[in-house]
Amino acid sequence: MKELVEKLNTKYALQDIIYQRDNMVFATISKELVIEAITYMRDYEGFAHFVMMSCADWIEDNKFQLTYILNNPQQRCDVALRVMIERENPTMTSAHHLWKQVWTYQREIREAFGIQFPGSPRVEENFVLEGWTDKPHMLRDFDTHEYAEKTYFPRGGRTTNDPATYMREKLYPNQPVTAKKNKNVE
Amino acid sequence: MLNNFFGFKPDRSKYPSVNEDGSLNIDLSSHQYTKLWLGPNHPGVTGNMAMELTLNGDEIVEGKTHVGYLHRGFEKLIERRLFVQGFPTSIRMCVAEPDTNEYLIAACTEELSGYDKQIPDMAKWLRMLSLEMARLQGLLRGVPGQAGTYSLGIGVQWGVYLRDLILDRFEELTGARVYHMYIIPGGVRGLLPEGFKARMEDNLKDIDDFIVRIKKLMFDNAIFKKRSIGQGIVTKEMVDKYGVVGTTARASGVKRDVRKDNPYLFYDQLDFDPPTAEEGDIYARTFVRWQELIQTVDLIRQIMAKMPEKGDIRAQMPNVLNWRIPKGETYVRIESGRGEYGMYYVTDGSDKPRRVNLRGPSYTHGVALLEDLLVNTNIADIHALMVSLQTCPPEIER
């Protein structure tokens, strides 16, 4: 595993390398090199299984993190490559030509985070939110509570408890509150 | 000769013609083609998903999967909740085997917070038992369900009855029948009730009998064979190309099983060998699952024989209401009844996760793979194809 990471590091100048487990490593790579790197890993290093592609919104850094997770079925190890891209007008090179299922991930990420993947098949089609006109729903600054208040009319006879407060009152009535609210979560 | 007899091989050399950009030339106004929406509510469709089909006669020339009918924004909701509050939300991402979600979210949070080495052995055995029971109840629905798609409904009735017996065992172990919330951060919620093993053994004996009967009903049946052999073939080359996993990959000759390849819990102490087949068609996939049913019964017996009678079931964990996890990320996978089932989990040092992303087998099986396999299929065989790929829409749209 370490030999492979060193080889990838030499070729693609990896950053923030973290060995999460003996058989799993996370590393950051530049946006321009990631498609070349995963193509190389698939064709020459045996990472034939594309596990998944995911996105996280680091709104405080004004960045999106795209993560490509690849698995080598023979060596039984995983490499996850992170790519940080700007949050404004985000665009990423498509990888749909490498594995058949990649366009599905890209289509979902386009819908959920607003990242464009030019050339990816059916990327403009809605994935789960038919007729959605609001901002991409997985962005950190999309307020789900406000959306629900705005969209769904209040129904008589229903009461709502904040789950965290309710649990605290029921389970630990005498314990002081020490956890701070996460400012990045609505 | 065999393919001509069993398989459906329409001549697609002349129609529909292909445009210069590679798309199919389908002119609906020519009256040669029909658009048909199958689902989202249809007894033959696995869950609430729809397929937009373009038909020529009763043959499919193009198929598109449409999901979103069950979308409740689970991943987004989990981002707004404390770590422990994510548990009851996460298990609803897969109705078929919710215990896999329980285990994954527990394993991710434990790994990122450094508690993964402190899980007691007893809790690990109980986690493994609950995961195998979940696999068993899923197979009791899935294996005869394949017969049901060919109108062999009696098998489904047997399977539903026996699945209910396993749900009875779940109820006495966890207090719930479908969404158990048994696996929690640090361990499990309780020990086996008194007499549990004996009652489970009674159920397993009934299932042994069912395994013999369902074999006669399905694999010795001319209708089942004629309609499943040579249909919906997933070749060995397609496995990596499409991200095919689990029994679907094993039925195509690719022997991959997370329990063997990357053992978790105490799977390395169990004696089993994942069944495989070479043909990759609906018949092969069903036969592999039937063999897996036998194996799962055996695994439950092995677990009950090897697990200790008593022991700690939970590690000392922090107060879940004040639980903060350092910044980090991980991907944890297990072998569900339908294949590799993983969770990508990102934390930012706060009391809530930054990102939770589920990777279910249906995400690849139910969209990219299904859409390509639908082409040239007869409309009467769609349900068999879908069930054979074990598509589960909730884990696609989450």
From B253, B297, B293, select the one nearest B143 (Cα to Cα).
B293
A133: Cβ contacts below 8 Å, ≥ 6 apart = none
Torsion of CA A148, A154, A160, A162, to 10 degrees: 30
Asked if residue B384 lies in contact with residue B224, where contact means CB atoms within 8 angstroms, the answer is: no
What is the three-class DSSP state of B366? helix
Percent of chain B with pLDDT over 90: 57
Q: Domain boundaries in chain A?
A: 2-157
Q: Quote the minimal CA–CA distance from B368 to chain A in Å.
A: 5
For B302-331, the pLDDT digits (tens) are 999 999 988 999 998 888 888 899 999 999
Of the listed ranges A148-162, B162-176, B306-320, B340-354, the one predicted with least confidence: A148-162
Is B350 in Cβ contact with A182 (below 8 Å)?
yes
Q: Show residues of chain A in contact with B355, CB under 8 Å.
A: 54-57
Measured CA to CA, the distance from residue B170 to residue B297 in angstroms comes to 15
Q: Quote the minimal CA–CA distance from A157 to chain B in Å.
A: 23
The confidence score (pLDDT) of residue B197 equals 94
Closest in B82, B346, B363 to A56, CB measured: B346
Is A137 in Cβ contact with B357 (below 8 Å)?
no
Residue B184 has pLDDT above 50, yes or no: yes
Cβ contacts from A onto B, under 8 A = 131
User: Phi and psi of B285, rounded to 5°?
Assistant: -65, -40
Measured CA to CA, the distance from residue B219 to residue B274 in angstroms comes to 20
B42: Cβ contacts below 8 Å, ≥ 6 apart = none
> Edge-to-edge strand order for the sheet containing B339-347?
B328-336, B339-347, B353-359
Of the listed ranges A29-38, B35-44, B74-83, B283-292, the one predicted with least confidence: B35-44
Q: Domain boundaries in chain B?
A: 2-66, 74-365+379-397
Alpha helices in chain B, H assignment, sequence order: 2-6, 74-79, 86-90, 98-113, 121-148, 153-174, 196-218, 222-228, 236-242, 246-250, 258-261, 282-306, 362-363, 370-374, 382-388, 394-397
What is the three-class DSSP state of B28? helix
Q: What is the mean pLDDT of residues B101-109?
A: 93
Alpha carbon of residue B87 to chain centroid:
19
For B204-235, the pLDDT digits (tens) are 999 999 999 999 999 989 999 999 998 889 99
CATH class of the domain comprising B74-365+379-397: mainly alpha
Q: What is the mean pLDDT of residues B227-254?
A: 92
Is B240 in Cβ contact with A24 (below 8 Å)?
no
Q: What is the mean pLDDT of residues B64-87?
A: 88
Name the token pair of A82: 């992170």
What letter does residue B369 receive in the DSSP assignment?
I
Whole-number mean pLDDT of chain B? 89
Q: Show residues of chain B in contact with A104, CB under 8 Å.
A: 363-364, 367-368
Is B397 in Cβ contact with A137 (below 8 Å)?
no
Of the two residues B124 and A185, the one the predictor is more confident about is B124
Of the two residues A180 and B273, the one the predictor is more confident about is B273
Measured CA to CA, the distance from residue B157 to residue B385 in angstroms comes to 21
Residue B6 has pLDDT above 70, yes or no: no
Measured CA to CA, the distance from residue B289 to residue B274 in angstroms comes to 10
Q: Show residues of chain B in contact with A57, CB under 8 Å.
A: 355
The residue type found at B147 is: A
Size (chain B), residues: 398
Is A164 in Cβ contact with B85 (below 8 Å)?
yes
Residues in chain A where the model's pLDDT stays below 70: 177-186
Of the two residues B243 and A184, the one the predictor is more confident about is B243
Name the token pair of B268: 């390395």
Q: Show residues of chain A in contact with B82, CB under 8 Å.
A: 163-164, 179
B16: Cβ contacts below 8 Å, ≥ 6 apart = B24, B25, B26, B33, B56, B61
Q: What is the CATH number of domain A2-157?
A: 3.30.460.80
Q: Show residues of chain A in contact with B80, CB under 8 Å.
A: 144-145, 185-186
User: Phi and psi of B126, rounded to 5°?
Assistant: -70, -35
Residue B298 has pLDDT above 90, yes or no: yes
Measured CA to CA, the distance from residue B255 to residue B277 in angstroms comes to 9
Nearest residue of chain A to residue B347 (CA atoms)? A56
Of the listed ranges B70-79, B156-165, B295-304, the one predicted with least confidence: B70-79
Is A51 in Cβ contact with B348 (below 8 Å)?
no
Asked if residue B110 lies in contact with residue B346, where contact means CB atoms within 8 angstroms, the answer is: no
